[in-house]
Chain A
């Protein structure tokens, strides 16, 4: 039998004329691609090991390195693509489940790319966001059905409104974008810190994931949404107490329906400390919460958490977008959740079986529309805030998501790209050259949390400016007025079923 040919996805090209043999690449690549041969005084590359993270390319002082996609090595075949062939080779050798990182990379229809936004012309004026007030602030949480507001006279004879209705706890966000759940463990502490800092500075929230809250992150805990997942790692009274809000994690877009698994070798001393498990043991998150087999059970956990925190903070539920997402979301609202986070099929992950990531779940665009529609029809949309997640790449995606019906958007991959990630999808190997998806101190120190926070903050700023521009164009000056405002969207090239599901008109149709 022939030797198994490894997949060489990339080609590392070095311009010998430019290379000054400084060997930065040799020292820096965690995948040991580059080696220096002192005899011939040359730097060589083993392209087979390259994962295409572009770190060396970025560092090379003379720009001598180019990482290229390796042209296909198998005979062109529209059905038996290169990936299929090499995946089978790998599985034939190992007998194991293939792993991957990041979000779904398959060429499924991307609905965001088939949606266009509206703008005002003549019949209503557009607004200039640079000179006129423009509000992106939102409040996440359960809103009362009606508000009892009384007009009172103060002693000095001035009018004062007093709200008598007890408003359930809310999260106040200056921008409708939050950093999604990424645990310390799946990403480095420096990456967590970068996002946590940026969230605090910008007036939004970050999410601990199911990895517990590291003590270095305590200063940012007042802006943390803490997760309670099936493994209950790191969950204790103090964790709940410090948080701004609690999110029960039922599912994740990259791996709906399956549990998580942080391998023992990644459970270092620090990780063991925050997850509260012994060093070196596998951190197994069971597929379901075994105290939740029904909506009624979910209600119990929601209220167990509300009781434990004395009804002072919002308790939400995160689910993956699956076929039945709308009725499930309705059940979650009725179970008492203050917010529902829905993660679409393109949602990222630190590690997931490739087969699950690529094949399970539905796109977030359809899920937002379905859930928003259903909750409106049932008259309970006000009882919950909807956070959409799963592949938001730009402020346009965020704006479209909100117009489809989301209150806010979780970003994960986009935030990591701001920190340096090049979406090589090798997060599960723990060898992230950018110091993000790794716990190796040699690699993590490459990410400076100050600079990381600045970059993540810049991204939030840039997107908010753009959102304001788009809103201004539509003549809308409060983001709340955009939520579920589907008249502001038109579809391009979608069929009747898709239009019905998204609740949209086709481009060309007037109001």
Chain B
């Protein structure tokens, strides 16, 4: 799906800013974004983004939306606390680094360490995600981070994961038949060092790929209802059929203890 103009953001807002990002350094571009926000803009459309880093870095405000046309650079939405960012194409490494709240919607693939140490908010990736997605994600009180990848993921998914929800669907991975996909949804060492939260993998899973700290179980009704709620928005963004996705069962991975390394020390 393509967002043709600002109307596609479908939000009621008084002020919209359109920024031409071509040939701008990240510093200038981000200054312009902050400037627009300071002027009361709530919607910002960035045209021709090409690798500029740190877009949305440290931005606050639940009512702020940024539409990125092009490919943003690393650390998109790092330390972000509230806004929503839509990326029309691929995103690079480190999206949502230490993010506190907000939403990132990526219509293509995303690079490594998506959601590093993310504490809240949601990251929806239509395609694949790289290595170490959701590393050290953690939940706290009413903050509950969620990452859903429609495609596959690289090694070390959910490493050190301490809270929140990580979902890998494996449906958009070069595969035309979402119901019978896919042999290699996850990479190796899934959930190594995991000590909190939940990973849901759709379809089959080779147990040799699991880290030592995780256990397998069928998801409970409650798990499924949490998943269903987030999938609803995921499917809305990417025009996918939720019911069909849910036809295939999910495997739940959870840490066998929230104290994986409690016994290695002599006191």
Question: B160 touching A308 by the CB < 8 A rule?
Answer: no
Give the contacts of B218-267 with A (CB-CB under 8 A): 258-267
Question: Knowing A96-B264, A264-B258, A280-B258 touch, does A307 contact B30 (C-beta < 8 A)?
Answer: yes
A97 to B75, CA, bound (A): 37
A236 to B143, CA, bound (A): 12
Q: With both chains docked as a complex, state the minimum distance between the C-beta of B220 and any C-beta of chain A, in angstroms.
A: 19
Within 8 Å of chain B (Cβ to Cβ): is A429? yes
**Centre residue among A307, A310, A429 by max chain B CB count within 10 A:** A307
Question: B98 touching A232 by the CB < 8 A rule?
Answer: yes
The stretch that binds A, out of B40-48, B53-61, B181-189, is B53-61
Question: Knowing A278-B139, A282-B195 touch, does A94 contact B54 (C-beta < 8 A)?
Answer: no
Question: Knowing A231-B117, A290-B159 touch, does A264 contact B262 (C-beta < 8 A)?
Answer: yes
**Centre residue among B74, B78, B98 by max chain A CB count within 10 A:** B98
Question: B195 touching A290 by the CB < 8 A rule?
Answer: no
A264 to B262, CA, bound (A): 8
Within 8 Å of chain B (Cβ to Cβ): is A284? yes
Within 8 Å of chain B (Cβ to Cβ): is A441? no
Give the contacts of A376-429 with B (CB-CB under 8 A): 428-429
A95 to B98, CA, bound (A): 36
A231 to B260, CA, bound (A): 16
Complex interface: chain A residues within 8 A of B57 (CB)? 304, 307-308
Within 8 Å of chain A (Cβ to Cβ): is B132? yes
When C-beta atoms are compared, the residue in chain B nearest to A261 turns out to be B261
Give the contacts of A339-361 with B (CB-CB under 8 A): 353
Q: With both chains docked as a complex, state the minimum distance between the C-beta of B25 and any C-beta of chain A, in angstroms.
A: 11
Interface membership of chain B positions 132-166, coded 1 if the CB is closer than 8 angstroms to chain A and 0 otherwise: 10011011100100000000000000011011000
Within 8 Å of chain A (Cβ to Cβ): is B193? yes
Within 8 Å of chain A (Cβ to Cβ): is B196? yes
Question: B162 touching A284 by the CB < 8 A rule?
Answer: yes
Question: Knowing A303-B54, A304-B75 touch, does A235 contact B262 (C-beta < 8 A)?
Answer: no
Q: With both chains docked as a complex, state the minimum distance between the C-beta of B160 and any C-beta of chain A, in angstroms.
A: 6
Within 8 Å of chain B (Cβ to Cβ): is A334? no
Within 8 Å of chain B (Cβ to Cβ): is A26? no
Within 8 Å of chain A (Cβ to Cβ): is B116? yes
Within 8 Å of chain A (Cβ to Cβ): is B203? no
Question: B97 touching A304 by the CB < 8 A rule?
Answer: yes
Within 8 Å of chain B (Cβ to Cβ): is A28? no
Q: With both chains docked as a complex, state the minimum distance between the C-beta of B141 and any C-beta of chain A, in angstroms.
A: 8
Main secondary structure of the interface of A (DSSP, over half): mixed
Counting contact residues on chain A (CB < 8 A from B), the size range is 35 or more
When C-beta atoms are compared, the residue in chain A nearest to B257 turns out to be A282
When C-beta atoms are compared, the residue in chain B nearest to A229 turns out to be B117
Give the contacts of B92-123 with A (CB-CB under 8 A): 93-94, 97-98, 100, 113, 116-117, 119
Question: B136 touching A232 by the CB < 8 A rule?
Answer: yes
Within 8 Å of chain B (Cβ to Cβ): is A369? no
Question: B267 touching A99 by the CB < 8 A rule?
Answer: yes
Complex interface: chain A residues within 8 A of B79 (CB)? 235-237, 240, 304-305, 308
Give the contacts of A263-282 with B (CB-CB under 8 A): 263-264, 272, 276-278, 280-282
Question: A236 touching B100 by the CB < 8 A rule?
Answer: yes
A310 to B26, CA, bound (A): 12
A277 to B120, CA, bound (A): 12
Question: A277 touching B138 by the CB < 8 A rule?
Answer: yes
Question: A303 touching B58 by the CB < 8 A rule?
Answer: no
Within 8 Å of chain B (Cβ to Cβ): is A374? no
Q: Which of A236, A300, A353 contacts B75 (CB 8 A)?
A: A300
Complex interface: chain B residues within 8 A of A237 (CB)? 58, 60, 79-81, 100
Complex interface: chain A residues within 8 A of B53 (CB)? 300, 303-304
A272 to B143, CA, bound (A): 13
Q: With both chains docked as a complex, state the minimum distance between the C-beta of A262 and any C-beta of chain B, in angstroms.
A: 11
Within 8 Å of chain A (Cβ to Cβ): is B22? no
Q: Which of A276, A282, A301 contacts B119 (CB 8 A)?
A: A276
Within 8 Å of chain B (Cβ to Cβ): is A169? no
Question: A284 touching B193 by the CB < 8 A rule?
Answer: yes
Within 8 Å of chain B (Cβ to Cβ): is A14? no
Question: A91 touching B163 by the CB < 8 A rule?
Answer: no
When C-beta atoms are compared, the residue in chain B nearest to A235 turns out to be B98
Q: Which of A264, A308, A428 contacts B58 (CB 8 A)?
A: A308
Complex interface: chain B residues within 8 A of A231 (CB)? 117, 136
Q: With both chains docked as a complex, state the minimum distance between the C-beta of A429 and any C-beta of chain B, in angstroms.
A: 7
Within 8 Å of chain A (Cβ to Cβ): is B34? yes
Q: With both chains docked as a complex, state the minimum distance between the C-beta of B135 and any C-beta of chain A, in angstroms.
A: 5
Give the contacts of A185-219 with B (CB-CB under 8 A): none
Give the contacts of A211-251 with B (CB-CB under 8 A): 228, 230-232, 235-238, 240
Question: Knowing A276-B138, A304-B57 touch, does A235 contact B261 (C-beta < 8 A)?
Answer: no
- Enumerate the 4 nearest inter-chain pairs by beta-carbon distance, A residue then B residue, closest first: A308-B58, A96-B266, A232-B117, A94-B266
22 contacts between A and B (CB under 8 A): A90-B266, A93-B266, A96-B267, A228-B98, A231-B136, A235-B79, A235-B98, A237-B100, A240-B79, A261-B261, A276-B119, A278-B140, A281-B162, A282-B259, A284-B193, A290-B113, A290-B159, A300-B53, A300-B74, A305-B79, A307-B58, A308-B57
